Structure 1
Amino acid sequence: MEIVCVHCKSINRVPAGRLQDGPVCGACKQPILPAEPVVLTADSFDAVIARNGLPVLVDFWAPWCGPCRSMAPMYAEAARLLHGRALLAKLDTEAQPAIAARSGIRSIPTLALFKAGHEVAREAGARPAQDIVRWASPFLG
């Protein structure tokens, strides 16, 4: 399975059976599948979304958003629960307005699930970790 490193955008091949083993990037030696949400930027968004063999669940949020801040620990818990099944990421819509606009984000927090570069599901509003997992699981295969 090909996994894109969010740190250096290198493509790494990881056997599906080793996804839970804490693989590191062959180029920069950073963890490529951490058990916590990764931060996406304008430099990494397209590469991570389009080239990952795992589904990518993105939390579109902003620092001034109260519901976004209250959901952050629950999203981190969902990242631990979905570790090895999906890559959970966060995109700050205030810092990356062009990506938010291109993605059609109209309210935050918004969760969008991408597979092979295509959005397959979207849900707006803060939710507990178990609800995030329950909502995403049918799309993870």
Structure 2
Amino acid sequence: MIHVVCSHCGATNRMPEGRDLAAGKCGKCNRQLFEGQPADVSAAILEKHIAKSDIPVLVDVWAPWCGPCKVMGPQFEAAAKQAEPKLRFVKLNSDENQELSSRLGIRGIPTMIMFRGGKEVARISGAMASTDILKWADQ
């Protein structure tokens, strides 16, 4: 079984290996588990993704006033369309989630952090094109 966290309600769903994850729906809220675009999540939902998901989680930490974040937003979405459900793409608004942003050690935005198995495995700051995001994530 593969554990997939719902970005809408935070429920952990168990999916049989080999099943098309892109077609999966949440057992609690009945929404699509993957929508081909990054979900803007709260600190609590992000922490569930990190702790309980068997799928690597790529987080874009951003803020609405940040010019480079506005440029990277569509690029991050384009990368999500290509890579989900192999990777989970989520966005964390650093203004609305200042405590978690501080605990994550965010010093500049946009910052992308890759989590796998509950641990941070990579981090990069600065705006990137979708192709560069995917190349970086594949490393």
Q: 1:10–1:73: structure 2 CA closer, same or farther, 3 Å change rule?
A: same
1:106 matched to 2:124: no
More deviation in 18-27 or 84-93?
Answer: 18-27
Question: What letter corresponds to residue 71 of structure 1 in structure 2?
Answer: M
Alpha-carbon distance, 1:21 to partner? 3.6
After superposition, where does 1:67-82 map in structure 2 within 5 Å? 67-82=68-83
Runs of 4+ in structure 1 deviating by more than 3 angstroms, as ranges, are none
Gaps of 5+ in 1: none
Q: Does the residue aligned with 2:74 lie in a helix, a strand or coil?
A: helix
Q: Does the residue aligned with 1:113 lie in a helix, a strand or coil?
A: strand
| Equivalent residue pairs, number | 138
What's the TM-score, normalizing by structure 1? 0.93
Alpha-carbon distance, 1:42 to partner? 2.3
Tell me how far apart the structure 2 counterparts of residues 94 and 111 of structure 1 sit (CA, whole Å). 16
Q: CA offsets, 1:13-62, max 9 Å, x none? A: 12343244421101110111221001110221211111001000000000
CA contact (8 A) 2:22 2:33 kept: no
Tell me how far apart the structure 1 counterparts of residues 91 and 22 of structure 2 sit (CA, whole Å). 23
What's the TM-score, normalizing by structure 2? 0.94
Q: Does the residue aligned with 1:31 lie in a helix, a strand or coil?
A: coil
| Match in the other structure for 2:28 | 27
| Match in the other structure for 1:17 | 18
CA contact (8 A) 1:19 1:33 kept: no
Tell me how far apart the structure 1 counterparts of residues 17 and 71 of structure 2 sit (CA, whole Å). 33
Tell me how far apart the structure 1 counterparts of residues 70 and 17 of structure 2 sit (CA, whole Å). 33
Tell me how far apart the structure 2 counterparts of residues 125 and 19 of structure 1 sit (CA, whole Å). 33
- When the two chains are superposed, the root-mean-square deviation of aligned CA atoms in Å is 1.1
Percent of aligned pairs with the same residue?
Answer: 39
